[in-house]
Chain A
Amino acid sequence: MARVAEGDERGFTELVRRYQGRVTNLVSRVLNDREASDDLAQEVFVRVFVHRRNYRRGSKFSTWLFTIAANLAKNEIRRRVRRRNWFSLDALQEMVGDSAIQLADAREGQDVTLERGQVQEAVGRAIATVPEKYRLALILRDIEGFAYDEIGQMLGIPGGTVRSRINRARGMLKRKLQPLIRRDVT
């Protein structure tokens, strides 16, 4: 990052290659939108480059990077909620509800085997229905594997709040995925 701060483009390219997967994954899971996540992940790195002089040496680069990513993802969710016509939580909940109903029916009698891809899609949709502030904490912890104090720094909240948000998000997700987790998945 020290090289990047001095405007070294090669250093910046290396940095992008090192973190592109995690950043894209984070924004993709937060938005549940594969296509938009590519553009937003690019924007994260552009912000890093433009504001490279604001990076404080000695602090952890990944924390700074994911703070920017989390903020941009939050802004994007809010922008979409404002637009409403593009992104409807109700529609998402409906889709998750439908898949849950199908799974519940399957449990009752028919021997329906779910493809792993379908399960993953249902899980992704269920995560997208968790309210934004809980969702971000959940993804940073249970998908990206960050420590609680790092998540606190990224989201600008105390460690206790991080814990309670993650616990609430996990509880919500467990209820939403109840039909999925009570059956065998191939």
Chain B
Amino acid sequence: MNCKQVRKLFGAYWDDEVTQAEREWLEAHFASCAACRTAYEDLGRTLELVGSLPRIDVAADFAERVVARARRATAEPDRLVGGAPRWIPITAAAALVAVIGATVIQWVGPNMVPTRPGTTLTTPSIAQPTLVTSVTKDGHSPDASAAARQIASGMTQIPDSLFDHDEDIEFILDPVTLKKGRALTVVRAPQEPPRAQQAVITF
């Protein structure tokens, strides 16, 4: 048994919690190791000093004061138990409802978007902005060459300033709904024939 092992047992030896074998080892070591013996004696003196500290005197009327204070404490509502303000559970419940609501909306989101006849779902990912030509009454876009021709003919009719022309141009920004990290773009086809030239900008 080396000095390190012996010193680990000092506390147990002081508390008389060592086994008979440990006691014999310790005492044999003390007989041969002055440093460990001195260290244990120092510990013993320290603990004797601690143990010999005088008891604190208690005031003669201590018990009476305690009883009076206990009477007052039981007469008053206990601020320690159940003393939390009432708004805390209400706020917590409201926050919980909001979180649950947000989660539900997120999961069933696309199904809750009102759909109209003729509505089509386009690309399930975020598409690059493109210019889409006017949508026909039946909800289908003409082919690209027809669109190009229409744009070319339309260009001649567009005045220099957008604010000067007689007819309104309506811009429809498509709503984008997120579901499970994917963006769904909903293109809403107009119910009525366009009153004027119409452009749909898809993001």
User: Contact residues of A with B, CB < 8 Å?
Assistant: 9, 12-13, 16-17, 20-21, 24-25, 28-29, 34, 37-38, 41-42, 45-46, 49-51, 119-120, 123-124, 127, 138, 142-143, 163, 166-167, 170, 173-174, 177-178, 180-182
Contacts and interface: CB of A to CB of B under 8 A. Distances in A.
B63 interface: yes
Contacts of A123: 49-50, 53
Contact of A181 (B49, B56, B64): B49
Nearest to B65: A42
Nearest to A45: B66
A21 B55 contact: yes
B11 A177 contact: no
Contacts of A13: 63-64, 67
B74 A38 contact: no
Contacts of A143: 50-51, 53
A46 B69 contact: yes
26 contacts: A9-B67, A12-B70, A16-B63, A20-B62, A20-B63, A21-B55, A24-B58, A29-B53, A29-B56, A37-B56, A38-B58, A38-B62, A41-B62, A42-B66, A45-B66, A49-B70, A49-B73, A50-B70, A143-B50, A143-B53, A166-B11, A170-B11, A174-B46, A178-B42, A180-B49, A181-B46
Contacts, number: 94
Contacts of A17: 63
A163 to B, nearest CB: 7
B70 A177 contact: no
B45 interface: yes
A166 B43 CA distance: 12
Contacts of A34: 56
A9 B73 CA distance: 13
A129 B52 CA distance: 18
A60 B98 CA distance: 47
Contacts of B3: none
A38 B57 CA distance: 10
Contact of A25 (B43, B56, B62, B67): B56
Contact of A170 (B47, B52, B59, B81): B47
Contacts of A38: 58-59, 62
A86 B43 CA distance: 32
A141 B12 CA distance: 12
B81 A119 contact: no
Contacts of B53: 29, 120, 123-124, 143
Nearest to B55: A25
A15 B56 CA distance: 18
B8 to A, nearest CB: 8
A127 B50 contact: yes
Given A180-B49, A182-B42, A16 B11 contact: no
Count chain B CB atoms within 10 A of each CB in A21, A174, A177 and give the residue with the most. Answer: A174
Residue among B11, B42, B53, B78 with the highest chain A CB neighbour number at 10 A: B53
